[in-house]
């Protein structure tokens, strides 16, 4: 039996207690569901490598990103994740285009295709402060889709989209991702059907 593509077991502080969160998925295409406050976002942050308080292990596609028993902690900038946080978190001093191409040496070849699929054309020269919540979320999605990543971490990526747009974005995402590993945080199981193979329920 081969090791699962995604294998995470992390102890995270929650108030006075600790909580152990476990995610394992053979294909690495997994949805994390559960009530709010259960630690879904913290789990995603820990996989991204920005949650200092997480203890345990994170293994992705045969690589160890964190293992506290062996003293391994790969810094966030070497993990190659595509993290779209729940609050989108666009750099306020950069245009939409600059946000999407952030840190890339050249303008990505499929920028136009991704922006078309996410219905972002016409917004590329705007500043984030002039975007709606749903537009911000789609820019954050575009930002992780145009770059090479080993694992996508999408934290409630459709929360601010209306139902029709949500369906179109999910369809575009399905077409684009194929078998690419993705951890998708959602409170709505209807969103995750075509995007993932496994569902992990926390709590």
Partner 1 sequence: MTTTPWDAIALSLQVATACTLLGAPPAVALGWWLARREHPAKALVTALVFAPMVLPPVVTGLLLLALLGKHGPLGAMLDRLGLAVAFTPAAPVLAALVVGLPLFVMSARAAFAAVDPAYDELSASLGDRPRRTWWRVSLPLALPGLAGGAVLMFARSLGEFGATIVLAGNTDATRTIAIAIYALLDRPASGPDVRVLAWSSVAISLFALAGYEWLARWQRRRLDLPR
Instruction: Tell me which residues touch partner 1 (CB under 8 A).
Output: 45, 48-50, 75-77, 79-81, 83, 85, 87, 89, 91-93, 102-103, 128-129, 143, 147
For partner 1, give the closer residue by CB, 118 or 166: 118
Min separation Cβ 190 and partner 1, Å: 28
Judged by beta carbon, residue 16 or residue 77, the one nearer partner 1 is: 77
Q: Is 27 exposed, middle or buried (0-12, 13-18, 19+ CB in 10 A)?
A: middle
Q: Which of 42, 45, 50 lies closest to 20, judged by CA?
A: 42
Contact 140, 89 (CB under 8 A): yes
Whichever of 53 and 168 has its CB closer to partner 1, that residue is 53
Which residue has tokens 């569902």?
199
Report the distance separating Cα 186 and Cα 5, nearest Å: 20
**Residue 184, Cβ density class (10 Å: 0-12 exposed, 13-18 middle, ≥19 buried):** buried
Min CB(50)–partner 1 separation in Å:
4
Q: How far is the CB of 170 from partner 1 (least distance, A)?
A: 23
Q: CA distances (Å), 38 to each of 55, 100, 104, 185, in order?
A: 17, 30, 34, 12
Residue 85 or 159: the one with the smaller Cβ distance to partner 1 is 85
CB 192 within 8 A of CB 158: no
Cβ(28)–Cβ(198) below 8 Å? no
Least separation in angstroms between residue 177's CB and partner 1 is: 18
At closest approach, how far in Å is the CB of 146 from partner 1?
11
């Amino acid at each position: 039996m081969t090791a699962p593509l995604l294998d995470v077991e992390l102890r995270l502080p929650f108030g006075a207690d600790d909580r152990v969160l476990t995610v394992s998925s053979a294909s690495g295409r997994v949805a994390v569901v559960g009530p709010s406050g259960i630690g879904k976002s913290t789990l995603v942050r820990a996989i991204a490598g920005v949650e200092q308080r997480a203890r345990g292990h994170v293994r992705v596609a045969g690589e160890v990103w964190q293992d506290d028993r062996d003293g391994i902690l790969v810094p966030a900038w070497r993990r190659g994740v595509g993290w779209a946080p729940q609050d989108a978190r666009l750099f306020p001093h950069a245009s939409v285009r600059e946000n999407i191409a952030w840190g890339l040496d050249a303008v990505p070849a499929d920028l136009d295709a991704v922006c078309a699929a996410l219905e972002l054309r016409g917004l590329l020269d705007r500043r984030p402060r002039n975007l709606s919540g749903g537009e911000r979320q789609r820019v954050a999605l575009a930002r992780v889709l145009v770059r090479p990543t080993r694992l996508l971490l999408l934290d409630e990526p459709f929360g601010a989209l209306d139902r029709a747009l949500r369906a179109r974005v999910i369809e575009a995402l399905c077409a684009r991702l194929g078998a690419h590993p993705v951890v998708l945080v959602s409170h709505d199981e209807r969103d995750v059907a075509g995007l993932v193979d496994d569902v992990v329920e926390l709590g």
